[in-house]
Structure 1
Amino acid sequence: MTHSNLKQDVRKAAANIFAVLPYEKVSLSDIARGAGVSEETARSAYSSVSAVARDILDVEGQTMRDAQAQARRTEDRPIERLRCVVALVGSHIQTIPEVRAGLHLAARSSEHFPERHIDPRRTWRGFIEEQLQIAYQQGSVSTQIKVSRVADLIFLALLGAKEIAEMTQDCDNISVKMSTCLDSILEIITDSGTNTTI
């Protein structure tokens, strides 16, 4: 097994553990056991639990940046960009263990990584508000809405959908749940809800 494959196997094993256990409760021996290797072998890939957690956060962060970039690249209309990015993120949560674990680490263990200034609200709410502001300026959403309030509502609703899926250990359908959540709010603020004030 190459060093690169070993790192990937250890990282995926760690991601599966971090997705369910708090950072403080995970040891390198737990990760090694999950990867099916000795602790010494796991240590040759990552010197510490912190090192593998940081690598997971790197993968999660890059995956999320790529999702936003892909939505910007492939969709001309801001509402469709929102739909695209939510579908991509939901799919990544379902299929990429590092994304699921990175979100868990960011939400529950960010104090262990102060140099990263982890703030999912700033990153995701900012993207949502940017798209809504463009849609507002283009006349694609009701003129009765307050963009910042709707951005908060969408962000919190998506976060809630993710949290409920995590709590119930039902991440298999999270993409559909998040997309349905977004569509419900968009329905209120677009054509069918043009007289709605939010």
Structure 2
Amino acid sequence: MNSKWHERFSMDEYFYGKEPNLFLVQATKQLPKGKILCIAEGEGRNSVFLASRGYDVTAWDFAQSGIEKTKRLAEDRGVIVNTEWHDLADVAWEEEEWDAIIHIFGHFPTPIFERTVEGIRKALKPGGYYVSELYTKEQIEYGTGGPKEIENLCDPATLLSRFSDYFIQHFYIGEVERIEGQGHTGVAHVVQSIFRKRGSAKVEKNKF
């Protein structure tokens, strides 16, 4: 898997473009300033956007070529993004480290997804946010981006179950249009989430 993504991101062109995911742009209105982790970050479009908004951002990916493009995009935009190579299959998650964790179109086999969710739950600070936009299993019928293996696509019910003890600040299942480079190319079927870990942090007013 690593070699596939490394090869994809080795091209000069940004496969998913240089602009942030539109849902993330909306969700950022709810996020307090702090330490943010972007997982499966690819070529850096979302982490660079967050850094431009004043967040302390770290980007994880397991394609070294993606990390290099993240650094290049951050330099071009005049911001700082901390980059780290990690494989989510065995990464060590620190406890209560992040104010928010961003998960945009990062799809994995079920065991890695389950491990990642548990890591996210552990690593968020009390009051911290999990923000995600993922393709649902219905996306197979759309063919406008995402994995070709249905088992790697997200089941919204599973996501709700794993975060059932969190505040649900936004949850949507349905169609959106995503034109993001050559990788995402039209109407898609997604699940969007903003879950907030119960704790003492201030609740932001819903701005959707």
Normalised by the shorter chain, which TM-score bucket? under 0.3
TM-score by length of 1: 0.25
Give the number of the structure whose residues are more often helix, by fraction. Answer: 1
Give the number of the structure whose residues are more often strand, by fraction. Answer: 2
Q: Which has the larger radius of gyration?
A: 1
